[in-house]
Amino acid sequence: MSDTVRATPLARRAALSDDVCDAIRSLLMNQAITPGQHINIDQLAAELAVSQTPVREALSRLESDGLVRKRPQRGFFATELLSAGDIDEIFELRMLIEPWAAGRAAAATERVTHPVAAIRAEFARALAGLAEEPAEPYRHIFEHDVRFHAMIYERGGNAQVARAFERTHCHLHLLRLQSGAPRISPTMTEHETIVRALEEGSPRQAEQAMRVHLRASRRRAIAALSATS
């Protein structure tokens, strides 16, 4: 497997640690660096027009996110795609925390100023993006999915739950990319059901709607894995 990647050089003023990390994360998420590929630090630093130090720092941060792996005497590698067992474990975790988070978000309507308004606005923003750029539906649906779930965690008020979601969502994104065209309609329909439960301030309905969404998402993830095998 070739170590060659095509990265866009960063402007000097933007060549900070966070920017380098974001740039490499984008290469991983867009599969410019493919799952399992060795990451050539010298080449990557040259293509981003930075020194090796911020690249190494960024890779260490991305390792903590589970997006790269460091192998002794061999360097950094992009994380491999998930197995069926990995998917099951991730969704077991999500089934434990996400319905609870949705219930908390629904119950927060009296404690937080207009907590659902922002989530509804995000939903509308995603639909508008899909309509304006139909040639790039996957980017819009993925970005919406991340923001949608993150806002629910925020309204639920537990930062640790939000961090747990961030770690699992990166891997699921890589699997979706590998599977090809996304199934947009089911995801948006399921999200709409969750939004309605949040607007009604019903923790029980919000929890149930999230469970339905997660079960369907797991089925889609397993189907995507089968399609790539």
State whether 177 and 209 are in the same domain.
Answer: yes
- pLDDT for position 155: 80
> How far apart, in whole angstroms, are the C-alpha atoms of residue 76 and residue 54?
14
Do residues 122 and 205 share a domain?
yes
Output the CA torsion sign for 14, 163, 88, 136. negative
* Phi, psi dihedral angles at 76 (to 5 degrees): -95, 145
Q: Is residue 131 part of a domain?
A: yes
Residues 92 and 170 occupy one common structural domain:
yes
Domain hosting 171: range is: 84-228
**Whether residue 93 is found in the same domain as residue 65:** no
Angle CA(221)–CA(188)–CA(206) in degrees, nearest 5?
90
Question: What pTM did the predictor assign?
Answer: 0.72
- Has residue 111 got a pLDDT over 60? no
Q: What is the pLDDT of residues 4-63, one digit of tens each?
A: 677 766 655 444 678 899 899 888 877 789 889 999 999 999 999 999 999 999 999 998
Rounded Cα–Cα distance for residues 198 and 103 (Å): 8
Could you tell me how many residues make up the chain? 229
The set of residues, in sequence order, having a beta carbon less than 8 Å from that of 210 and lying 6+ positions away, is 98, 99, 101, 102, 194
Shared domain for 107 and 63, answered yes or no, is no
Question: What is the per-residue pLDDT for 70?
Answer: 93
